[in-house]
Amino acid sequence: MRKNIKYSLLGILSLGLALTIVSCAMKNPDKLASELVPVEGNPLASFRVLLDVGSANDPAGKEGLCQLTLSLLAGGGSKSLTFKEIQKKFYPMAASVGLRVDKEMSVFRGTVHVDNLEKYYDIFKGMLLEPGFREEDFKRIKTNQLNFLERTLVSNRDEQFGKEILNLMMYEGHPYGHHQSGTVETLKNLTLDDIKAFYKEQFVQGNITIGLAGGYPSDFPAKVMQDFSSLPEGHTTQLSLPEQRMPSGLEIVIAEKKTPATAMSMGFPVSISKADDDYFALWIAVAHFGEHRQHLSLLFQKIREERGQNYGDYAYADHFIQGSKKFPGQNFCRQQQYFSIWIRPLANSNRHFVLRQTLRELKKLVEEGIPEERFELARTYLLNYTKLYAQTLSEILGWKIDSKYYGYKDFLAEVQRRLPRITHQDVNSAIKKYLNFENLYIALITDDAESLKNDIIANAPSPITYANPNMPEKILEEDKIIQVFPLDVKPEKVTIAPAADFFQKAGVPKSN
């Protein structure tokens, strides 16, 4: 048995050999779509079942419904099997069904050894096509979702909390404007009947793309398509989103809690996405300014490497929330995007200084553009780094789906084609066109919020001290400028609320 596995596993390492891409060219909008990446001889098979529906499709007053419904599919029983029985059957295969819900799309994921493909798929199919909707599963998952909002998010994950506050600020009154898990108020009122109705309405063929990759048998996709064709035909019309609201000046929300460290996220909506020509130029600029977890990031160099203020400082040209991951995730496609900056937690004593430093660097970027050599460096970096983006079957499938959403045959191939043509001037033009330093939403999580608010409004000097008594003169000279760098913040633009008040109701809690 083991010997067989050993030989069959060789195929894992041969993704590059027999990779063929097959997809449906034209489709009826009311019927299933598919993205297939057969890799002959590969011992693994990956599923991505994409639903063109996300938390933005939650009906008003029922925020959290999409997440709760889909969680009940991924984490509950089917008609024929209880969740306990499913877990028992999945266990020897080391298999599971993963779920991620975003604003406008959601995806069920699973990867399994081809030894177990039929057994796995049989259960997977039942979970999605014939959900059990048991009361006990509903109660468990709803409680977990409530606990996440009330306890975990606001108490245990300040970095993620900051990003979610930024989302609340940017999209107040907008379909994107609530967390995928909803609010405590709306979640408490959701019923099993709401779940069943949402499933019936949204789990229709035209909303679904079946993604398969790996060493599955050649007749397997047809079987899957036939099974999923049992769903009703139909589709949900893509949401017509209101215009994104740009901040007016610097708008600050401070979530106050007892903590020695301050977390910061800031940003504003942008009018472009990966679908636009200008995206590639803007992407180079943002990689230079704050590439995720890389030394290329200017913010990382200035805040962490030169001054040792925190663990990392990054910026993003579109939605990116996977903090610890090396590479961007897939299937977070949205009609509307935003630029953001993520400053990882730092000592409360230095919060005002680092806020000033970040905004000053953004101002310099917008006013001065990026130097020629940094343009070349960032472009070369992206050309090479993106070659590592799609290594696993699931990643290949994910990018395939995203490519289609943004109108490309293959987005990563497009990167290789487009980036060499981008000029230094294109990048600096994109910066001027899409970025600004005067109108930002700023989310802060910190202690003693009133004191910070007063300091910011008064533009009080914010000198800092270092463990190193012999800091380079150049840095100390720059610090003298940063510590008095003026921030034009009006008192009425600062909201302070206890951390525990967030996500109880829609929007940002009122100032206390």
Going residue by residue from 206 to 245, which x/- string records binding to another protein, judged by CB under 8 A?
----------------------------------------
DSSP helix/strand/coil, 27: coil
Kindly state the smallest distance separating residue 180's Cβ from another protein, in Å.
Answer: 18
Q: Which amino acid is at 29?
A: P
With CB under 8 A as the contact rule, the residue among 200, 326, 432, 490 that binds another protein is 326
Residues 386-415 that bind another protein (CB under 8 A): 386-388, 391-393
Q: Which two tokens stand for residue 74?
A: 């991924």
* Residue 420 binds another protein (CB under 8 A): no
Strands 250-256 and 440-446, sheet pairing: parallel
| Residues 482 and 358: beta-carbon distance below 8 Å | no
Kindly state the smallest distance separating residue 93's Cβ from another protein, in Å.
Answer: 6
d(CA 314, CA 200): 41
Instruction: Single out the residue of 242, 237, 241 nearest to residue 207, CA to CA.
Output: 237
Kindly state the smallest distance separating residue 399's Cβ from another protein, in Å.
Answer: 14
Please list the residues that pair with 442 across neighbouring strands.
252, 266
* Residue 6 binds another protein (CB under 8 A): yes
Going residue by residue from 18 to 47, which x/- string records binding to another protein, judged by CB under 8 A?
-------------------------xx---
Going residue by residue from 245 to 284, which x/- string records binding to another protein, judged by CB under 8 A?
-----------xxxxxx-----------------------
Q: What is the largest CA-CA distance in the chain?
A: 73
Kindly state the smallest distance separating residue 31's Cβ from another protein, in Å.
Answer: 32
Task: Choose one: 28-36, 66-74, 340-348, 398-406; the region binding another protein (CB under 8 A).
Answer: 340-348
Phi-psi group of 118: left, alpha or beta (phi > 0 → left; psi -120 to 50 → alpha; rest → beta): alpha
* Residue 164 binds another protein (CB under 8 A): no
With CB under 8 A as the contact rule, the residue among 104, 158, 164, 426 that binds another protein is 158
**Which helix (H) or strand (E) element contains residue 282?**
helix 278-290
* Residue 498 binds another protein (CB under 8 A): yes
Task: Choose one: 244-252, 278-286, 414-422, 493-501; the region binding another protein (CB under 8 A).
Answer: 493-501
* Residue 500 binds another protein (CB under 8 A): yes
Distances (CA, A) of 435 to 282, 365, 443: 9, 9, 18
d(CA 224, CA 33): 11
DSSP helix/strand/coil, 36: strand
* Residue 383 binds another protein (CB under 8 A): yes
* Residue 90 φ then ψ, to 5°: -70, -30
Going residue by residue from 82 to 121, which x/- string records binding to another protein, judged by CB under 8 A?
-xx--xx-xxxxxx---------------xxx-xx-----
User: What's the DSSP call for residue 243?
Assistant: P
Kindly state the smallest distance separating residue 134's Cβ from another protein, in Å.
Answer: 11
Binding residues with another protein: total (CB under 8 A)? 90
* Residue 470 binds another protein (CB under 8 A): yes
Kindly state the smallest distance separating residue 129's Cβ from another protein, in Å.
Answer: 22
Task: Choose one: 123-131, 231-239, 308-316, 330-338; the region binding another protein (CB under 8 A).
Answer: 308-316
User: What's the DSSP call for residue 203?
Assistant: -
Sign of CA dihedral 184, 59, 67, 243: negative
Kindly state the smallest distance separating residue 257's Cβ from another protein, in Å.
Answer: 5
| Residues 461 and 427: beta-carbon distance below 8 Å | no
Sign of CA dihedral 304, 310, 315, 316: positive
Q: Which two tokens stand for residue 167?
A: 């989302």
4 CB-contact burial (10 Å; exposed 0-12 / middle 13-18 / buried 19+): exposed
* Residue 156 binds another protein (CB under 8 A): yes
Closest to another protein by CB, 394 or 403: 394
* Residue 382 binds another protein (CB under 8 A): yes
Kindly state the smallest distance separating residue 331's Cβ from another protein, in Å.
Answer: 19
Q: Which amino acid is at 105?
A: M
